[in-house]
Amino acid sequence: MASQTEENYLKSLFNLANEKSEVNISELATQMQVSMPTVNSMVKTLQKNEWLIYEKYKPVTLTPKGKKEAALIIRKHRLTEMFLVNKMGFGWEEVHEIAEQVEHIHAPKFFERMDEMLGYPTIDPHGSPIPDKQGRIQEINYLSLSDCKAGQTVILAALTNSSTEFLEFLNGRNLSLGTELKITSKEGYDQSIVVSYLDHSSETLSEKVCEKLLVKVLE
Amino acid sequence: MASQTEENYLKSLFNLANEKSEVNISELATQMQVSMPTVNSMVKTLQKNEWLIYEKYKPVTLTPKGKKEAALIIRKHRLTEMFLVNKMGFGWEEVHEIAEQVEHIHAPKFFERMDEMLGYPTIDPHGSPIPDKQGRIQEINYLSLSDCKAGQTVILAALTNSSTEFLEFLNGRNLSLGTELKITSKEGYDQSIVVSYLDHSSETLSEKVCEKLLVKVLE
DNA sequence: CAATTTTGTTAGATAGATCTAACAATGTAG
DNA sequence: CTACATTGTTAGATCTATCTAACAAAATTG
Ligand SMILES: [Mn+2]
Ligand SMILES: [Mn+2]
Ligand SMILES: [Mn+2]
Ligand SMILES: [Mn+2]
């Protein structure tokens, strides 16, 4: 059974491997906030457990077994976040830190019961997909708001970043998942976008914000 | 901050210290399922953190600081058990193992929210008192069923043992907290007690069982 | 009270997770 | 292509939590 530490490495590996599939030691060290030698020794451990493939001086790759293990931890994380928001009344900006701990609990029934109480959700409070019990993850191809054009109407569907600060920024502007945004204009100079929604008739969002907002285009 | 291991030692110390106040190294080793040298080195660590008082060859004693720390972990454990039973539909025989893990989560809001949702309960699903936020524990003096006499009517209020096996034994006989028991007779030879309750007109309970059942006497 | 048993301590080892310092391989930019 | 920067590895140390073997103190018992 994976230790709490190993589980956190697997999760980081899984997230960093989106698309590229390969992960550098230095990337992983940055992500995990540990030194490169620490990562070096940990990848050797993970390799012994057949969770990843490692060759000296090469980037590492998760094995199918490692991917499944990681996805199942991410499943527990996201179910927990959903439970905290929908069943315990937490704000979406408060749940990540708690889920970071709860995800390591070994009690299948606990998470099955959450799942059941939530009605088998497929996305978490930040719009990220919840892997199924087999560790399969359904990839949804949203568009980034920064790739949208003036005149389009879109629905805010997910975020590429769920830091507390960013979520509080969105809270401050009444922006939540499902909000319908009309794109009034786009500034060519700094790529900022002006949107209207709810009782906000004109809100300017910087490119930095727009690229973190994933949307479904309505028209 | 106490490690998960230290937290488990503190909890064991607190539970073993009921009444006697002092705890032997060997008792603690048995309880924690580790060797005596392991306990010996751990008590030195706990002493450095001022959670207990230790002198060579003497039994150890928790300091007030250590008692409070322990009581607050027990609070998290018992709130969790109550939440699992009352809000998530678990049976009282399923929750201890899960709570044993959840009690180590560092997230005051998480437990405050549980407390609030539960309506600030004072006892857990096994009838044990839930320490308050200051770590104060309200001692309730129940009588053991084994000390009751024929003719008395009592209400099952708590258990001195909450092992899954014992709880399943009680489930099998429809015995739950709050059940009113009429003591039909008591066998002088083996101290077994015959009770009637609900649709059970004559159930014989061995001394071993009776001493684990804590009751309030009605008449 | 002396012998034996139980309880507790010390020493030394191991495994996991981390670090720094030193060095080696790889990649990049002039 | 060489120099420099970046990336990765090795060696060796530390800290936590655990173990066994050996020994010492305390308690029990005849
Ligand atoms: Mn999260
Ligand atoms: Mn985590
Ligand atoms: Mn319990
Ligand atoms: Mn525990």
pLDDT in tens, A98-143: 999 999 999 999 999 999 999 999 999 999 999 999 999 998 989 9
Q: Is A185 helix (H, G, I), strand (E, B) or coil?
A: strand
The lowest-confidence range among B15-29, B75-89, B120-134 is: B15-29
Handedness of CA B143, B148, B151, B155 (dihedral sign): positive
Q: What is the overall mean pLDDT for chain B?
A: 97
Considering only CB atoms, which chain A residues are within 8 Å of B90? Answer: 109, 113
CA of A32 to C1' of C17 (A): 13
Using CB atoms, pick whichever of B102, B106, B117 lies closest to residue A105.
B102
Nucleotides of chain C touched by protein CB (<7 A): 6-12, 16-22, 25-26
CA of A38 to C1' of C20 (A): 11
**Cα separation values, B32 from A85, A174, B27, Å:** 36, 51, 9
Q: Tens digits of per-residue pLDDT, A7-37?
A: 999 999 999 998 788 999 999 999 999 999 9
Taking the C-alpha atoms of residue B213 and residue B146, their distance in angstroms, rounded to an integer, is 8
Q: Is B158 helix (H, G, I), strand (E, B) or coil?
A: strand
The pLDDT value given to residue A20: 81
CB A200 within 8 A of CB A173: yes
Q: Tens digits of per-residue pLDDT, B77-106?
A: 999 999 999 999 999 999 999 999 999 999
Residues of B with CB under 8 A from a CB of A: 84, 87-90, 94, 97-98, 101-102, 105-107, 109-110, 113-114, 117
The two tokens of residue A108 are: 């299948």
Segment B6-14 shows an average pLDDT of: 98
The pLDDT value given to residue A176: 98
In terms of Cβ atoms closer than 10 Å to its own Cβ (0-12, 13-18, 19+), residue A24 is: middle
CB B192 within 8 A of CB B204: yes
Structural Rg of chain B based on CA atoms: 19
CB B178 within 8 A of CB B158: no
Considering only CB atoms, which chain A residues are within 8 Å of B110? Answer: 84, 88, 98
Q: Which DSSP string corresponds to A81-146?
A: HHHHHHTT---TTTHHHHHHHHTT---HHHHHHHHHHHTS-SB-TTSPBPP-TT-------PEEGG
* CA distance, residue A101 to nearest chain B CA (Å): 6
Taking the C-alpha atoms of residue A47 and residue A161, their distance in angstroms, rounded to an integer, is 29
The pLDDT value given to residue A146: 95
Cβ-defined contact of B105 to A101 (cutoff 8 Å): yes
Cβ-defined contact of B105 to A98 (cutoff 8 Å): yes
Residues of A with CB under 8 A from a CB of B: 84, 87-90, 94, 97-98, 101-102, 105-107, 109-110, 113-114, 117
pTM of the model: 0.95
Cβ neighbour number for residue B66 with a 10 Å cutoff: 24
Please choose, from the candidates A50, A57, A20, the residue with its C-alpha nearest in 3D space to the C-alpha of residue A36.
A57
CA of B10 to C1' of D16 (A): 17
The pLDDT value given to residue B21: 85
User: A100 C-alpha vs ligand 2 centroid, how far in Å?
Assistant: 4
Q: Tens digits of per-residue pLDDT, A32-60?
A: 999 999 999 999 999 999 999 999 999 99
Q: Is A46 helix (H, G, I), strand (E, B) or coil?
A: helix
Q: Is the CB of A38 under 7 A from strand C?
A: yes
CA of B126 to C1' of D13 (A): 49
Taking the C-alpha atoms of residue A122 and residue A50, their distance in angstroms, rounded to an integer, is 29
Q: Which domains does chain A have, with CATH numbers?
A: 4-62 (1.10.10.10), 143-217 (2.30.30.90)
Is the pLDDT reported for residue B44 higher than 90? yes
Q: Tens digits of per-residue pLDDT, B138-171?
A: 989 899 999 999 999 999 999 999 999 999 999 9
Segment A177-199 shows an average pLDDT of: 95
In terms of Cβ atoms closer than 10 Å to its own Cβ (0-12, 13-18, 19+), residue A43 is: buried
Taking the C-alpha atoms of residue A148 and residue A185, their distance in angstroms, rounded to an integer, is 10
Residue A100 CB contacts under 8 Å (≥ 6 apart), including other chains: A77
* CA distance, residue A44 to nearest chain B CA (Å): 26
Residue A216 CB contacts under 8 Å (≥ 6 apart), including other chains: A142, A143, A154, A155, A157
